[in-house]
Amino acid sequence: MNDFLTGLQFLTRIQLKQQTEWSPASFGRSVRYFPLIGLIIGIVLAAFYHLLAPYVTIHVLTALLVIGEIIITGALHCDGYMDTADGIFSGRSRERMLEIMKDSRVGANGVVAFGVLLLLKWTLYIDMPQSLLPLSMVMAPVIGRFCMVVGITLFPYARPDGIGKAFTQYAGNSALKVAGVLTLAAAAILGKTAVAGLLAALVFTIWFGRYVTKILGGLTGDVYGAITETTQIIVLMTFLTLRGW
């Protein structure tokens, strides 16, 4: 239970107990629960949707949903997504890319990439059939966090230290199996479209993980965030394209 709470309180702003010490081992053991944490995020967003849908227009509602997800996660993954864009698209050496990604300041590449991310997510929410929107909002965070587990367990870590290093070092061989079972169970319950979204997201994650590893020698915590945000977009696109197939 403590490991689950460590993951929940790190990946979201949901605080259920006072936690002043974060051990690397607990960080690593929490990895297996990432899809479950994604499910909690998705349920909160779906509840938010059902609460507000009768009172606001779809354009306002979808904007509030995008903002709501950022608030729930504390923009943690968005920050990683922007840092990854700044580093990968800088055209510099491996060492310089890692320095750029560690810099707290956001560059032009990160700003542009984040703008594209927000535009895509908002547009996908608007165009999504109303009958599928809650389901897609539940499934996207689950798959996004599972793909983060894939990145953590299947690819080396690019830095000698950091929070992401604790994930890689202490996750254990069972983390991917447990996370996979949780994700497959959720996808099976939500139907074939969810399963298709999972497969599409996995294909991207493997390709992107190899691409970044070739450039940086491994992944970083920022790349984990980029994987999460990007695969959520892929899941939403799958739901919209297949439309409940």
pLDDT at 183: 97
Contact (CB, 8 A) for 25 and 57? no
Express the helix, strand and coil content of the chain in percent, nearest 5 each: 80, 0, 20
Task: Please give the single-letter amino acid code of residue 243.
Answer: R
Cite the beta strand spans of 33-192 per DSSP E. none
What are the per-10-residue average pLDDT scores of the chain (245 residues)?
86 80 78 96 96 94 96 95 94 92 91 96 95 95 97 92 78 90 94 95 98 96 96 97 80
pLDDT at 21: 61
pLDDT at 58: 93
pLDDT at 244: 62
- Identify any residues that bridge with 219 across adjacent strands, giving them in sequence order: 157
Contact (CB, 8 A) for 209 and 155? yes
How many other C-beta atoms can be found within 10 angstroms of the C-beta atom of residue 56?
Answer: 12
How many other C-beta atoms can be found within 10 angstroms of the C-beta atom of residue 7?
Answer: 22
Q: For CA atoms 159, 101, 143, 211, give the dihedral sign.
A: negative
Model-level pTM?
Answer: 0.94
Cα separation, 87 vs 54, whole angstroms: 43
pLDDT at 2: 81
Contact (CB, 8 A) for 175 and 31? yes
Max Cα separation, the chain?
Answer: 52
